[in-house]
A and B are shown apart, each in its own frame.
Chain A
Amino acid sequence: MAQGTLLQVGSFTADGSNKRIAIRSDFDYIEVFNRTAAAQATADLGYFFHFQRGDTDGRGYLETKLGTVANDPVTVGQIAADSGFFLLDTSANPVSASTVVDSATDATRPVVSTSSTAGLAVDDVVRMTLVGQESLGGIDFQIDEVNSDSDFRIKYVMANSPGAAATSGTWRKIKYDPIFYPRRRFIANITAASSAVVRCTVDHGLTVGQEVRMHVPAVYEMIEMDGLSGTITAVTANEFTLDIDSSAFTAFVFPLPADVPFTPALVVPYGIDTGVALSNSVDDLADATENQAIIGVDLIAGDDSPAGNNNDVIEWRAFKAFSVNNE
């Protein structure tokens, strides 16, 4: 790849959410052209966006077509903070700065009160340090119901509540998954059933047919499950069903603060049952170890943001400079 060239181009149809684009060799300048916004003449919409290495992360500049004004004039401005381009390297430290937690409820889906939810959205993953709920500390949890600068809630139900309310602590956003797939995951609950259903604390990304080994330390009480391996027969985003009969097993219990320190219960994927995978139309190489780290850019969605609105047709062009001389 020669330097100083148009590095990579592409287009996509927006779905109303932020857009992540992997750009090999990294880039120094990117521009985004929203064809839909440029073609319309009924609303004031950003249609051309650009970002150069050295600009403030999360911003950039835009040109807006004023479709509500006669002759559709264009204005130019800076993209609002956190509404533009974010440089991306998912192999970097995934942990954000800490934010104070005021309290957390004693529930199977604790509601965590905090004076700032900046940067948080539904389905984000957080890692917390909680005084009074020490057993949740250091475990990654997906969240839902984010109320701006008030609270958020743990998304997936744990086997039991943490045993007490938290009185203080911190939360940190986990921006990226560990880079290698398939990943081990923390367990929130396991049912006692003829086909055990395992619930993870975050979306697991596993597929039908994958074989996993269960690690359930004694503190979780379902010790009969510890060390067993099973084949996944059904999946949802955060749960999977195993061909393991756990109906006679001791009930799964999530540790309490008094149990700290302990080794967390984990599911470790290690292979695939080819027959089960193929009979369920799953790629029989779905268990392949894969480095999923990418470098590139996150485009934010919105009227005046580069990822646009639902059904917008958007094209982008990334450039690599011979050198970047920001003085």
Chain B
Amino acid sequence: MLASTASVINCVGGVNGDNPTEMTRSDVDQVVKVLKGNDSKPFLSGMAGEDKFGSAPVRWAYFALGSTDLIGDLENVSGFISQAQYPNPMNAISDAEWGSISNLRFMLSSIGSKTANSSANGNDVYNVFCVAREAYACVEQDGYSAQFIYRPPIYDGPLAQNSSAGYKMAQVPRILNDLWVQNLRCTLA
């Protein structure tokens, strides 16, 4: 839904010769500037610095949701702080959290969004959804969002030979405020 409908900012600070380019600090600063300039609220408060070797304070932050293919490129962005360098790594949101840059904390997934062959040079474009609080929501209909239904053989056939599995979904995702979510598009270095 976000890939189809959210506002877009292309990364333009990189040097890979593509459009969009690989992600750089100036691109991260630009998307934070837009979100903050639109009076959005961050998801997470900051972490104060502590006297621990190699650690660094972490700013309050919006979420940045992307693909695990970005691992490596993110580390090369100026100001990247690995979640292992947080004052308390236990404060990482989940296993998905890879680190932070400026006021974005990056959550990566192997099924993170990318648009095939969509750059000027024909490369895949990675959609990094930078979201503030209450930027979008899912509306559950009929009291549920999704159901995976498995019926074992004893219930699925008169001879109890076959089972069945299926799913049904009754939910609608919806952007609540288009100013509070930006798709930061980038390619790989």
> Which chain A residues have a beta carbon within 8 Å of chain B's beta carbons?
1, 3, 93-95, 98, 127, 129, 134-135, 137-138, 170, 172, 178-184, 213, 215, 260-264, 266, 268-270, 288-291, 322
Question: Is A213 a contact partner of B5 (Cβ separation < 8 A)?
Answer: no
B5 A137 Cβ-Cβ under 8 A: no
Residues of A contacting B7 in the complex (Cβ-Cβ under 8 angstroms): 184, 213, 215, 266, 268
**Inside 8 A of B9's CB, which chain A residues have their CB?**
263
The answer for the CA separation of A256 and B71 in the assembled complex, in Å, is: 32
User: How big is the B interface, by class?
Assistant: 20 to 34
| Minimum CB distance partner of B13 in chain A | A261
- Chain-A contact segment, one of B52-60, B75-83, B96-104, B115-123: B115-123
Smallest beta-carbon distance A188→chain B, Å: 16
Query: CB of B6 within 8 A of chain A?
Result: yes
Q: How far is the CA of A184 from the CA of B117 in the complex (A)?
A: 18
Task: Known A-B contacts: A129-B121, A138-B122, A178-B5. Give 16 more (CB < 8 A).
Answer: A95-B118, A127-B117, A134-B19, A137-B119, A183-B5, A184-B8, A213-B178, A261-B19, A261-B120, A262-B12, A266-B8, A268-B178, A289-B173, A289-B175, A291-B1, A291-B172
| B40-60 at interface with A (beta carbon < 8 Å) | none
Distance between Cα atoms of A322 and B14 in the complex (Å): 53
Contact among A1, A135, A270 with B175 in the assembled complex (CB-CB below 8 Å): A270
Docked complex Cα distance between A241 and B3 (Å):
25
Closest chain-B Cβ to A319's Cβ sits at a distance in Å of 17
- CB-defined contacts of B118 to chain A, threshold 8 Å: 95, 127, 138
In the docked arrangement, what's the CA distance between A270 and B11, Å?
A: 23
Which residues from chain B contact A182 at a C-beta distance below 8 Å? 5
A288 contacts which chain B residues (CB < 8 A)? 172
Min Cβ gap A218→B in Å is 11
Tell me, in angstroms, the Cα distance from A260 to B4 when the chains sit together.
23
What number of residue pairs across chains A and B have CB atoms under 8 A from each other? 96
19 chain-A/chain-B pairs, Cβ below 8 angstroms: A95-B116, A95-B118, A134-B120, A137-B119, A137-B121, A138-B118, A172-B117, A178-B4, A180-B1, A181-B4, A184-B4, A213-B7, A213-B179, A261-B21, A263-B8, A266-B7, A268-B7, A270-B178, A289-B175
- Tell me which residues across on chain B come within 8 A of A170, comparing CB atoms: 122
Q: Which of B3, B14, B120, B175 contacts A137 (CB 8 A)?
A: B120
Q: Looking at the complex, which one of A127, A179, A262, A289 makes contact with B10 (CB distance below 8 Å)?
A: A262
Contact of B19 with A184 in the complex, beta carbons under 8 Å? no
The 3 nearest A-B residue pairs measured at CB:
A137-B120, A178-B4, A180-B4
Looking at B10, B19, B166, B179, the one whose CB has the most chain A CB atoms below 10 A away is: B19
**Interface contact A138-B175, CB-CB below 8 Å:** no
A104 CB, nearest partner CB in chain B, Å: 14
Chain A contacts of B122 at CB under 8 A? 98, 129, 137-138, 170, 172
Partner of A184, one of B6, B166, B179: B6
